[in-house]
């Protein structure tokens, strides 16, 4: 990871968008001046108390080496109480992600439409990943809305007379999307993009579905308590589900009944 200091009024568009590989000329000199005054970054991870310090290079940035085995990594970046020409460095955070963008379709896919009310569904532990549902389309992003793709779906079943599938709500999981259509729940894998009926998901009597809005991955009890990621319910039952359906540990046991009203 490369870190340098920018002045938003002088930085390049690539620097503002956090996609630059090297500092601009102005940022190079600004960073070098701060470095000469004793400035250096401290990098932290939300899941660890360990901190990382970077090595300053001749190209005008600090380089920090981090190892991670997930599809995304959020880091916090702090500095020292050092000023230069009445300028200070403020703390920031950044999310790195390594996820494929929604690929092209072959013309046989079926569009997905959202409800009349616009809905934004974010993955609480991977904030760069989200669904945006409107009555005209459903869009997905894997890069914090720097780009979006329209979500469509293949089906082995009869194409609906309307030519599209209407959805009341959805839940965005690590491996796909749970769609609430009519009074049932259906699965769309990120990988195959096919409509699937799964025994873990009821296809009748579903009244609603909600996704967790806060991340509990680092909760001290996460190893012994299943906090779940999704809630869905019928008229008399409430179920909880996790972050993946296709995990070999979750086959046939994705949902758990929380309580039932007789």
pLDDT digits (tens, 9 = 90+) for 176-220: 999 999 999 999 999 899 999 998 899 999 999 999 988 876 666
pLDDT of residue 222: 58
Per DSSP, what are the bridge partners of residue 143? none
Query: What's 262's DSSP letter?
Result: -
> What tens digit of pLDDT does each residue of 14-35 get?
998 888 999 999 999 999 999 9
Q: Spell out the domain ranges in the chain.
A: 2-97, 110-260
Instruction: Kindly give, in sequence order, each residue whose CB lies less than 8 Å from that of residue 78, ignoring residues fewer than 6 positions away.
Output: 41, 42, 44, 91
DSSP 11: -
| CA atoms of 166 and 77, how far apart (whole Å) | 43
CA distance 44 to 191: 32
Residue 204's contacts (CB-CB under 8 Å, 6 or more residues apart) are 183, 184
Mean pLDDT of the chain: 87
Number of neighbours of residue 138 by Cβ within 10 angstroms? 24
d(CA 240, CA 172): 14
Q: What is the pLDDT of residue 204?
A: 95
Instruction: Please check the confidence at residue 2 and state whether its pLDDT lies above 80.
Output: yes
Query: What is the reported pLDDT for 193?
Result: 93
The whole-number average pLDDT for the span 61-67 is: 91
Q: What is the pLDDT of residues 123-168, one digit of tens each?
A: 888 878 899 999 999 999 988 888 899 999 999 888 889 999 999 9
pTM here? 0.72
């Amino acid at each position: 990871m490369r870190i340098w200091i920018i002045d938003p009024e002088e930085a390049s568009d690539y620097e503002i968008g956090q996609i630059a590989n090297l500092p601009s000329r102005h940022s190079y000199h600004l960073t070098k001046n701060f470095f000469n005054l004793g400035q250096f970054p401290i990098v932290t991870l939300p899941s660890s108390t360990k901190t990382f310090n970077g090595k300053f290079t001749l190209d005008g940035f600090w380089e920090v080496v981090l190892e991670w085995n997930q599809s995304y990594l959020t880091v916090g970046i702090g500095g020292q109480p050092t000023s230069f020409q009445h300028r200070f460095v403020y703390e920031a955070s950044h999310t790195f992600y390594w996820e494929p963008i929604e690929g092209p379709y072959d013309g046989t896919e079926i569009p997905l439409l959202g409800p009349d009310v616009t809905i934004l569904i974010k993955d609480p532990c991977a904030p760069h990943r989200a669904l945006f549902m409107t009555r005209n389309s459903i869009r997905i992003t894997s890069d914090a809305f720097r780009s979006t793709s329209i979500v469509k779906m293949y089906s082995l079943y009869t194409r609906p007379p309307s030519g599209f599938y209407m959805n009341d709500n959805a839940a965005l999981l690590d491996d796909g999307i749970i769609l609430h259509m009519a009074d049932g729940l259906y699965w769309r894998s990120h990988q195959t993009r096919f409509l699937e009926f799964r025994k873990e998901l009821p296809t009748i009597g579903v009244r609603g579905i909600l996704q967790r809005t806060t991340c509990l991955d680092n909760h001290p009890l996460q190893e012994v308590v299943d906090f779940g990621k999704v809630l869905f319910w019928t008229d008399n039952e409430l179920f909880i589900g996790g972050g993946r359906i296709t995990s070999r540990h979750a086959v046939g046991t994705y949902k758990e009944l929380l309580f039932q009203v007789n």
